Structure 1
Amino acid sequence: MCASTLHAATTPPFLALRQVTQQYPLPGTRFWHATRYQCVINNVTLSLNKGEHVGLVGASGAGKSTLLKILLGLETPDSGSVSCQGRAVVPASTAALRWYRQLVQYVPQDPASTLAPNKTVAQSIAEPLHFLGHGAASMSVLQRALDDVALPASLLHRRVATLSGGQAQRVAIARALALRPAFLIADEPVSGLDLPLREQITALFTQLAQQYDMGMLLVSHDISAVAALCQRVLVMHEGQIVEDRPRSALLSTPAHPHTRALLAAIPTLPDCYC
């Protein structure tokens, strides 16, 4: 075996879930120890590589949100493991997970709503830097963060409450990127946006991922949203990954009925995606 092949075989993926299962008690079943459970994540094994752009799609209730919590180290699975570059990711304090938060950042659904309206843009971007031990953020770092998302430095002293919806969306993304993460996880990044803003945010993610060689996991119920950004698409259904294929193959020859249903829900699919 040559050296390059051996390296590929022994180097762990950037992010990995191994045989992860999570179940929750069903409401109203905690009586006389007869608790019944619903399996939300069912034996999921998944690897995400450095610099890879992956989409995770599925209908509401498929298990995407629970999988995200486990992947972000916010929830401990009933069984299985999560690792980053071979190191275990276990829910813990901010200090204990500082190494992981530095490498993996999260952009939640409706990220603008996570910004405190009374804070300035500068304070909002500097907050995670402070929590993760970077000290006071310099003006150059803050300006660079806004430059990354095509916003002028003059916004740094504006209150978040005075921003437009599109500006607030970009500030929230700038806050995650200020740490220069190796991997970005975004939950429904364009859900609820009008078409022009949706296209702007899609183009922004594409540009930033290429500029910083950053891996991405984009989670959505809309398969067309991730098809515009990702080369690999995972389809989740009833707590399991039922398809894991290159984008072009999955869109042209979907193998699972749930994938076909998701594709059928799209009015038109641009030819350039296939």
Structure 2
Amino acid sequence: DLAVTAQIADRVAVMEKGRIVEQNTTRTLFETRKHAYTRALFAASTHQPSREARVEDTPLLSVTKAVRDYRLPRRTVFGKTPLFRAVNEVSFDIRRGESLGLVGESGCGKSTLTRAILGLEPLQGGRITLNGDDISTGMTPDLRAKMQVVFQDPYGSFNPRHTVARIIAEPFHLMGRPVDAEDQIARALTEVGLTPDDMRKYPHEFSGGQRQRIAIARALITRPELILLDEAVSALDVRVRAQVLDLLADLQASHDLSYLFVSHDLSVVRRITDRVMVMKSGQIVESGETEAVFQNPNHTYTQTLIAAAPAIPEDWTHGAQDAG
């Protein structure tokens, strides 16, 4: 994380393939970037995926006054059971072809809301609809196939004993294994930049970025309309992250996908989403067009969140020539 490094380090060493290729005081290195690999790292850290504006007005997913409560331990034997409200009357739509960001600090309710959308958490109030069908009380296999998820740690969501083919085929249990399953797996691997031969390998044979591509292939296999990306690039280094963001943008255009991009990384959300929602204490405190929210945040919490995000000082980058 170059922005964090800029704020806390006195000196910086850049390593490539086991060698230190450049080192200097932090400010000097950030200003000069003499080695090509250093310049490539900086270019990747600010990479802007090329995205087509193909957002429709029709809502794909609608969340209306969603409420999720958790019971807390009683303080006295005969006292009332206290409740913790993790999601407090949240409402929003995701339109077809749209990328919607959801940001907020840890414990704000992002993950609970995500699990509720996936049907993994019951609601105590409100409703969630997908294509107009109420999914807040359960989903049919056909509806589940229309919504998939990509997690932060692909290795943790894979069974290490299973081949890539078996991992990618897991969602087929929602709709029955098709007769051309192997062809579909090969196509999914090709779509994410891997090869059909990779289906016979195991997760440990791949890098972190490649494993995330496998996770994306698994999400694509049912031909969903909505993919929830839960911190999907936060564990990747800057160059691989830029490549995965490009891949997601390409897949959105070619498959008419909608994304809910859940992240604490504001810089990534700013580059990959059309609109953004800011969540605090279980509520959406601000939402709007992404660039408008970042340029002119109205809520004090949004202002604090943006101000707290690490950033490279602007005068450290003047005159530096990034790699293309």
The answer to whether the superposition gives a TM-score over 0.5 is yes
Structure-2 separation of matches of 1:60 and 1:218: 15
Residue 34 in structure 1 maps to residue 80 in structure 2: yes
Counterpart amino acid of residue 97 in structure 1: T
Q: Where does residue 86 of structure 1 map in the other structure? A: 132
- 2-side partners of 1:13 and 1:269: how far apart? 37
> What RMSD in Å do the two structures reach over aligned CA positions?
2.1
**Amino acid of the residue matched to residue 72 of structure 2?**
L
Report what 2:291 is aligned to. 248
Q: Which residue of 2 aligns with 1:3?
A: none
Whether the 8 Å CA contact 2:276–2:288 is kept in 1: the answer is: yes
Q: Is the 8 A contact 1:74 1:91 kept in 2?
A: no
Aligned partners of 2:180, 2:122: CA distance in 1, in Å? 32
Change beyond 3 A, Cα 1:86–1:207: same
Which of 99, 106, 130 is the matching residue for 1:53?
Answer: 99
Deviations 1:7-39 (A, max 9, x none): x9xx96211111111221234537314221121
How many angstroms apart in 2 are the aligned matches of 1:138 and 1:16? 32
Change beyond 3 A, Cα 1:136–1:27: farther
Match of 1:118 in 2: 161
User: Aligned letter for 1:264?
Assistant: A
C-alpha distance 145-240 of structure 1, shift in aligned 2 (>3 A): same
CA distance in 1, matches of 2:105, 2:187: 37
Cα distance change, pair 79–247 in 1 and its aligned pair in 2 (3 A): same
1:24 aligns with 2:24: no
Identity, % of aligned pairs? 38
8 Å CA contact retained: 2:152, 2:235: no
1:4 aligned residue: none
Q: TM-score, normalised by structure 1?
A: 0.88
Partner of 2:148: 105
Candidates 104, 111, 116, aligned match of 1:70:
116
Q: TM-score if structure 2 supplies the norm length?
A: 0.75
| Structure 1 residues 55-204: aligned runs within 5 Å | 55-92=101-138, 97-204=140-247
For 1:167, give the aligned amino acid: Q
Matched, 1:220 2:266: no
Total equivalences in the alignment? 259
CA apart distance, 1:54: 0.5
Gapped runs of 5+ residues in structure 2? 1-55, 315-324
* Unmatched runs of 5 consecutive residues or more in structure 1: 1-7
Distance in 1, matches of 2:163 and 2:170, equals: 11
